[in-house]
């Protein structure tokens, strides 16, 4: 089965990703329909659990029409859990059962959160809320772009509450799971249970509520959940990629309630904070990385913390593969591959133009043309920006493909979008969507 998996993933993943994630993993044994796989670091483990585990399950069906579930282990787990796994088949990493019941990730605590200019306010508000739940800021609404620590911070509140009161009823849920649970409860006629479950918690954490857009019934239900909790002074914490009034099709009464408490934003971390985050991760992972190499990595990745973590994993994997210590030049080598792998094979400027035009309901000719209406100019600049970022075309080449524009125009457009991206949530949102659709 492992060989089968390797072959399959070799086709599916880009060469660099394959080397980083798959080659470094070792199958240990197949037992009771579980495949035990050992990976080198907790960053690998997280990546496997997030992105690869479901693929393994799918592949198992393809291979033998059976359910085989991967269990991802770290070298450290082996020492402690191996004797156990032979007798019982409970999950190997025994996290605190309270934390598990609340659906919290044990890593997302205040201790592991690094504060800096972009998140200071949000961090302070989260601390206050965990000290005095239900009284000061209710709801607490945290918003900002992807990978900036919203989920982490919101869960830290949950951990803190459980630390102080292990009896507390804490519940973390994504807005999508909330919607699914709700729909299932209607289908299974278990609405009573559903309501009891959500309306009796002490702390409710609902993540990414922008996905409530368009879900009328769920919004209705959440409105009542919200009111019950609010009236009984139970703390509610919400996150979203934008402000409540910017979420399309969110009922006005929800928008106004979400504004009752405090809204705080998280913005991208500055270089200093990024370096501090890396240092903290390196220590947690027992990695020996000199300070100058840490700042170098931080200077190369300025978009979001999740990518920053990815870069660290990559550098680490590269150092293991080549059996060399981590320093600036090794980091540069490792990240060069990362930049290359962002250039999608087969993605062309013309595909980008088609996708962007479709997204903004324009024509490709609009993008290539010279009309200066705002509704065309920004999409045009976005298309140029994506061409620069996702293909390895030169500026003059991009200019040429956009109806023969000068390379300085292209450069100006890219800089303009990069600048807007720092503050404009709509642009951030559009770019995330566009990239996702281009990557499929
Ligand atoms: P979001 O929910 O905003 O998309 P996450 O909370 O999932 O972002 O954060 C992405 C990753 O970055 C997580 O692994 C998280 O632990 C890490 N992270 C984000 N901000 C910080 C920070 N300030 N300090 C330490 N880790 C951080
Ligand atoms: Mg999140």
* Mean pLDDT, the chain, whole residue set: 87
The first and second tokens of residue 410, run together, are 């292209």
DSSP secondary structure string for all residues of 68-91: -EEEEE-HHHHHHHHHHHHH--S-
The atom of ligand 1 lying closest to the CA of 107 is: 16
Between the alpha carbon of residue 321 and those of residues 24, 197, 313, 330, the distances in Å are 9, 48, 12, 11
How does residue 60 score in pLDDT terms, banded at 50, 70 and 90?
A: confident
What pLDDT score does 92 carry?
34
CB contact at 8 A, 175 and 212: yes
Between these two residues, 357 and 102, which has the higher pLDDT value? 357
Is 90 a residue whose pLDDT tops 60?
no
Place of tokens 């368009």: 214
pLDDT exceeding 70 applies to what percent of the chain? 92
What pLDDT score does 151 carry?
96
Which residue has the least CA distance to atom 9 on ligand 1?
149
Name the residue of 239, 305, 307, 311 to mutate for ligand 1: max ligand atoms within 8 A of Cβ. 305
Is 93 a residue whose pLDDT tops 60?
no
Is 48 a residue whose pLDDT tops 70?
yes
Binding residues for ATP: 147, 149-151
What pLDDT score does 136 carry?
84
Among all bound ligands, the one having the nearest atom to the CA of 152 is 1
**C-alpha to C-alpha distance for 217 and 155, rounded to whole angstroms:** 26
Residue 139, preceding peptide bond in cis (omega within 30° of 0): yes
Ligand 2 centroid to Cα of residue 12, in Å, is: 26
CA 49 to chain CA mean position, Å: 13
Between these two residues, 252 and 318, which has the higher pLDDT value? 252
Is 357 a residue whose pLDDT tops 50?
yes
The atom of ligand 1 lying closest to the CA of 280 is: 25
For range 414-434, the mean pLDDT: 86
Q: What is the pLDDT of residues 270-320, one digit of tens each?
A: 999 999 999 999 998 888 899 999 999 998 887 789 889 989 988 988 888
Backbone angles phi, psi at 327, to 5 degrees: -145, 180
**C-alpha to C-alpha distance for 168 and 221, rounded to whole angstroms:** 23
Q: Is the pTM of this model over 0.80?
A: no
Backbone angles phi, psi at 27, to 5 degrees: -75, 135
Name the residue of 43, 111, 116, 147 to mutate for ligand 1: max ligand atoms within 8 A of Cβ. 147
Q: What is the pLDDT of residues 221-240, one digit of tens each?
A: 999 999 999 999 999 999 99
For range 81-104, the mean pLDDT: 50
The first and second tokens of residue 204, run together, are 């409710």
Is 94 a residue whose pLDDT tops 50?
no
What pLDDT score does 46 carry?
79
The atom of ligand 1 lying closest to the CA of 144 is: 3
What was the ipTM of the complex prediction? Answer: 0.99
Ligand 1: lining residues by beta carbon, under 6 Å: 108, 112-114, 119, 146-152, 277, 305-306, 309
Q: For ligand 2, a single-atom ion, which residues have Cβ within 5 Å?
A: 150-151
Binding residues: 147, 149-151
The conformation of residue 115, written as its DSSP 8-state character, comes to P
Is 146 a residue whose pLDDT tops 90?
no
The atom of ligand 1 lying closest to the CA of 308 is: 12
Is 133 a residue whose pLDDT tops 50?
yes
For range 47-61, the mean pLDDT: 84
């Amino acid at each position: 089965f492992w060989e089968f998996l390797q072959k399959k993933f070799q086709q599916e993943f880009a060469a660099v990703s394959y080397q980083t994630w798959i080659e470094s993993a070792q199958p240990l044994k197949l037992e009771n329909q579980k495949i035990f796989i050992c990976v080198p670091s907790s960053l690998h483990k997280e990546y496997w659990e997030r992105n690869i585990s479901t693929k393994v399950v799918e592949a198992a069906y393809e291979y033998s029409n059976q359910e085989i579930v991967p269990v991802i282990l770290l070298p450290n787990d082996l020492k402690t859990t191996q004797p156990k796994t032979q007798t019982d088949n409970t999950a190997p990493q025994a996290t605190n059962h309270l934390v598990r019941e609340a659906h919290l990730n044990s890593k997302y605590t205040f201790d592991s959160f690094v504060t800096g200019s972009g998140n200071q306010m949000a961090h302070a508000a989260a601390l206050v809320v965990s000290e005095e739940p239900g009284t000061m800021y209710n709801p607490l609404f945290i918003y900002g772009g992807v990978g900036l620590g919203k989920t982490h911070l919101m869960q830290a509140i949950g951990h803190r509450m459980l630390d102080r009161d292990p009896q507390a009823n804490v519940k973390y849920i994504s807005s999508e799971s909330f919607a699914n649970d709700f729909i299932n409860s209607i289908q299974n006629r278990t609405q009573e249970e559903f309501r009891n479950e959500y309306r009796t918690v002490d702390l409710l954490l609902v993540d990414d509520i922008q996905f409530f857009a368009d879900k009328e019934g769920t919004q209705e239900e959440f409105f009542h959940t919200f009111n019950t909790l609010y009236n009984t002074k139970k703390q509610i914490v919400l996150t979203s990629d934008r402000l409540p009034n910017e979420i399309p099709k969110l009922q006005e009464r929800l928008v106004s309630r979400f504004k009752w408490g405090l809204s705080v934003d998280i913005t991208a971390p500055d270089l200093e904070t990024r370096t501090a985050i890396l240092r903290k991760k390196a220590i947690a992972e027992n990695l020996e990385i000199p300070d100058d190499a840490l700042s170098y990595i931080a200077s190369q990745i300025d978009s979001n913390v999740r990518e920053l973590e990815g870069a660290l994993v990559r550098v680490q994997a590269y150092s293991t593969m080549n059996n060399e210590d981590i320093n600036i030049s090794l980091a540069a080598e490792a990240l060069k591959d990362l930049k290359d792998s962002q250039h999608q094979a087969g993605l062309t400027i013309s595909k980008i133009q088609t996708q962007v035009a479709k997204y903004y309901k324009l024509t490709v000719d609009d993008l290539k043309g010279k009309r200066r209406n705002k509704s065309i100019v920004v999409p045009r600049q976005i298309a140029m920006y994506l061409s620069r970022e996702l293909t390895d075309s030169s500026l003059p080449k991009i200019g040429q493909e956009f109806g023969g524009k000068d390379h300085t125009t292209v450069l100006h457009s890219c800089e303009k979008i990069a600048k807007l991206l720092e503050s404009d949530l709509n642009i951030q949102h559009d770019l995330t969507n566009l990239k996702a659709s281009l990557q499929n």
